[in-house]
Structure 1
Amino acid sequence: MKKTFAISILILLVNLTSGQIALGKDSVFGNSTLLDFNNVSGNTKGIILPAVNNVNDALASIPSNNHGTFVFDKSENKVKMYENGTWKDLSNAGSSSQIITNSSSEISSLQGTIIGSNTSNAKGILVLESTNKAVTLPQIANPHLNVINPYPGMMCYDTTSKSLAVYDGSTWNYWK
């Protein structure tokens, strides 16, 4: 409990002072990075996207300005992104059999943590709000070879193919 509180206070202080967050390392890379991950050689950890039962049901609770929202759609077993008013498939149909349902009370709130701003009209568990900074994805060389047990909805940057890699529960899908 004390460790969680201390980490929360540290993240809050970093956010208030610079609006930039580094996870697993001391500082972010560059002035244009809002969220940065420890991308040491041999990294096999990526971002796990939230899983929704159906994007059409989720859409009712997502404001129209939530462009760039990424989710794993369990009804179609696909990773999707909300863009220009529609959901775009980022993967083939995979499998959601490994997904563990989170029944915690915090999932009922549509406003989670905001990084980069004090407020946001966007709704989500983690909202990165900035007009001049971006997220640097976790970087993994050949995730299809090096991530032993990927989780459905995992996302990273493949440093070998120089592309976005998303795991659909069955296979890795790549976007250049």
Structure 2
Amino acid sequence: MKNIFLTLSIFFAASASAQVAIGKTNLSSTAVSLEFYDGADNKRGLVLPWVTSLSDVAGAVNGTFVYNTTDKKVYVKYASGWKDLSVDTTGTVDTSLQNSLSDVNEAKVMIGGDHNTDTTPGILVLGDHHAVMILPKVASPHLNIVNPSPGMMVYDTTTKQLAVFNGTVWSFWKQ
């Protein structure tokens, strides 16, 4: 009986789809692996990992997003290299919070995929190849997020664009 229960438990755990909703009770679709609060009063975004050099991001895979504190830019990794998503790099960025912390290289959270065999580098890895992440949705983030953090990323529901903050200004991207 124990073997049957154990076998059934392993089968159901292996076939379950990992999905996470942050700040909300339900996901908008079964095709979503990670979704953030998207209420009309949302004034928060997703803050990207901070690096001092793109060469520090060893083994980056396509789709990796980082904020580079040295040149004050947000980057995404493509097959051909790193794509700059920032438009202005003037001003200063307060990195005192990050400077006082130490990295834990083996720290990793994985949603979907096989946690035991996946070697994709990253702090947060979405391992499900059939589901997506929905960014936090904010109406006019440049007007409504009072004190954005460098490397913040949201979906602007007013302009229907990706918005990234480089520590000085927001950059807006539309496909």
Partner of 1:82: 77
Map 1:75-154 onto structure 2 (within 5 A).
75-92=70-87, 93-95=89-91, 97-99=93-95, 100-101=97-98, 103-105=100-102, 107-119=103-115, 120-154=118-152
Letter in 2 for 1:155: M
Given residue 76 of structure 1, which amino acid in structure 2 is its aligned partner?
D
1:139 & 1:20 partners in 2: Cα distance? 18
| TM-score, structure 1 normalization | 0.82
* 1:55 maps onto 2:54 in alignment: yes
Give the C-alpha shift of residue 96 in structure 1: 5.3
Q: Distance in 1 between matches of 2:80 and 2:120?
A: 14
Q: Which residue of 1 aligns with 2:3?
A: none
Cα separation, partners in 2 of 1:95 and 1:126, compared to 1, 3 Å: farther
Partners of 2:24 and 2:63 in 1: CA distance: 26
CA distance in 2, matches of 1:94, 1:30: 40
Letter paired with 1:73: N
Q: What residue in structure 1 maps to residue 39 of structure 2?
A: 40
The answer to whether the aligner puts 1:162 opposite 2:160 as a matched pair is: yes
Does the residue aligned with 1:145 lie in a helix, a strand or coil? helix
- In structure 2, how many angstroms separate the alpha carbons of the residues matched to 1:84 and 1:47? 24
Question: CA offset at residue 141 of structure 1?
Answer: 0.2
Contact 1:36 1:137 in 2 (8 A): yes
Query: Tell me, what secondary structure is at the counterpart of 1:144?
Result: helix
Q: Distance in 1 between matches of 2:132 and 2:91?
A: 30
User: How far apart, in 1, do the equivalents of 2:98 and 2:104 lie?
Assistant: 13
Match of 2:66 among 64, 68, 71: 71
Following TM superposition, the consecutive aligned residue runs of length 4 or more in structure 1 with deviations greater than 3 angstroms are 102-105
Structure 2 gaps of 5+ residues are 1-12
Specify the code of the residue in structure 1 equivalent to 2:79. Answer: N
Specify every segment of 5 or more residues in structure 1 that has no aligned partner in the other structure, as ranges.
Answer: 1-13
When normalised by structure 2's length, the TM-score is 0.82
- Cα distance between partner residues in 1 of 2:99 and 2:123: 13
